[in-house]
Amino acid sequence: MFRIAVLPGDGIGPEIVPEAVKVLSACAEKFALSFKFEEAPVGGAAVDLTGHPLPGETLELCRKSDAIILGAIGGPKWDHLPVERRPEAAALLPLRKKLGLFANLRPVALYDALVDASPLKREVIAETDILVVRELTGGLYFGEKRRERIPGGERAVDTLIYTTSEIERIGRLAFEAARSRRKVLHSIDKANVLESSRLWREVINRLHEEYADIELHHMYVDNAAMQLVNWPKQFDVIVTENMFGDILTDQASVLTGSIGMLASASIGGAVALYEPAHGSAPDIAARDEANPLATILSAGLMMRYSFNHEEAAGAIEEAVERVLEKGYRTSELMQPGCRKIGTARMGDAVVEELLNQ
Ligand code: IPM
Ligand code: MG
């Protein structure tokens, strides 16, 4: 039996996470697996309940579980809180750090049925299949931060730090990923300006000696932002630091039709965390409108990376593909000739395809 911690969080989180749980339950049925789901509050929801966005019991549950599924965290209701209690800074980032989740894998793959859903041209995005490996526990997110009063105002400081070993472990993971795919790795940095990027590039180059079978390219982040929408097919695996990875993956999601399609797996520690790459979308919360597919596809990644069940992972991905081929769409992906359905119906449709395969 596998224990799965279920952390719905805020905004659309409590709508999309149950759909992923439905799909995991269907997987259990189909592949004779046994899952125990245990829910806990996190983010603003946990602030409202307990006063803190990451209660001790939630963290304990995560540590004891075999995998974690998380919806999304944060919203305008909690934006005014001091940083020690703000959902993003005091729950999501500590959760990643405390669980040692230094690598965030974000597959950016375009389903054929969605080629015309993207605002980008068909010939540019067709056959996009990229794996972004984002460093998740270093860089600007975790460096020292402070404010100082100075004459005429304040000075705010964020610190961008990377060590050799932090770069080595994420680089190694990315080279290995490239080895199991098309053997091309793009390392994205800003080595023309940043010292941390110069170290990043040196370490990646050194590692490359061990991975001579992989074609390595270095690219500046500004150029990468342009190349991603200009010629995405050149990319196989991308490896980059935390902040660049955050920004580039939101941009890359447009290649797949919608950020509602972008799944993610945060790995590297004893227990991995699966969450959609999008946010809590408070503007559409509680309207049965959110796209649950990124969370459902994250559950697919859980089958692959935590439970080593490639067949179940592939089955979830195929079920999503079939549902899209049949023309079912949540509103943000709606196109002429398609059938608009809500969050819960989308989850049901995936379950149905999965069990009928
Ligand atoms: C993401 C999100 C988070 C991040 C926010 C919510 C702190 O944008 O997972 O990409 O920046 O890492
Ligand atoms: Mg982001």
CATH number assigned to the domain comprising residue 10: 3.40.718.10
The two structure tokens encoding residue 270: 């004893």
Strands 145-150 and 129-135: unpaired
Domain for residue 110, yes or no? no
Same domain (yes/no): 213, 123: yes
Name the nearest CA neighbour of 245 among 144, 133, 169: 133
Domain for residue 111, yes or no? no
Nearest CA to ligand 1 atom 7: 88
Q: Please tell me which residue in 129, 183, 220, 250 is annotated as part of the active site.
A: 250
Domain for residue 247, yes or no? yes
- Helix (H/G/I), strand (E/B), else coil: 292: coil
* Mutation to probe ligand 1, out of 73, 92, 140, 244 (largest number of atoms < 8 A from CB): 92
Pick the last residue of a domain from 194, 225, 256: 256
Over its C-alpha atoms, the chain yields an Rg (Å, rounded) of: 20
- Would you give the distance in Å from CA 132 to the centre of its chain? 9
Cβ(135) – ligand 1 distance below 6 Å: no
246 is catalytic: yes
Same domain (yes/no): 242, 269: no
Same domain (yes/no): 148, 251: yes
Same domain (yes/no): 98, 128: no
Same domain (yes/no): 251, 124: yes
77 is catalytic: no
333, 258 contact by CB (below 8 A): yes
Domain for residue 113, yes or no? no
Return the ∠ at Cα 269 (arms to 61 and 79), rounded to 5°.
60
CB contact burial 174-192 (16+ within 10 A = b; e otherwise): bbebbeeeeeebbbbbbbe
Segment holding 96, helix H or strand E: helix 93-98
So what's the pLDDT on residue 354?
Answer: 98
Same domain (yes/no): 274, 187: no
Nearest CA to ligand 1 atom 5: 88
Tens of pLDDT along the chain (357 residues) come to 999 999 999 999 999 999 999 999 999 999 999 999 999 999 999 999 999 999 999 999 999 999 999 999 999 999 999 999 999 999 999 999 999 999 999 999 999 999 999 999 999 999 999 999 999 999 999 999 999 999 999 999 999 999 999 999 999 999 999 999 999 999 999 999 999 999 999 999 999 999 999 999 999 999 999 999 999 999 999 999 999 999 999 999 999 999 999 999 999 999 999 999 999 999 999 999 999 999 999 999 999 999 999 999 999 999 999 999 999 999 999 999 999 999 999 999 999 999 998
Same domain (yes/no): 148, 234: yes
Spell out which residues have Cβ within 5 A of ligand 2, the ion. 246
Segment holding 257, helix H or strand E: none
Same domain (yes/no): 267, 293: yes
Domain that holds residue 174: 119-256
Q: Domains in the chain: how many in total?
A: 2
Name the nearest CA neighbour of 203 among 230, 169, 161, 180: 169
Name the nearest CA neighbour of 239 among 177, 191, 318: 177
97 is catalytic: no
CA distance 214 to 212: 5
Domain for residue 130, yes or no? yes
283 is catalytic: no
Q: Which residues contact 222 (CB under 8 A, 6 or more apart)?
A: 190
So what's the pLDDT on residue 168?
Answer: 98
Pick the last residue of a domain from 228, 256, 284: 256
Same domain (yes/no): 153, 79: no
Same domain (yes/no): 170, 208: yes
Domain for residue 109, yes or no? no
Pick the last residue of a domain from 256, 286, 318: 256
CA distance 99 to 215: 32
Segment holding 68, helix H or strand E: strand 67-72
Ligand nearest to C-alpha 93: 1
Domain for residue 184, yes or no? yes
Nearest CA to ligand 1 atom 9: 277
CA distance 108 to 245: 12
Residue type, 132: V
Same domain (yes/no): 245, 312: no
Domain for residue 114, yes or no? no
- Helix (H/G/I), strand (E/B), else coil: 277: coil
Query: How much is the pTM?
Result: 0.97
Same domain (yes/no): 85, 178: no
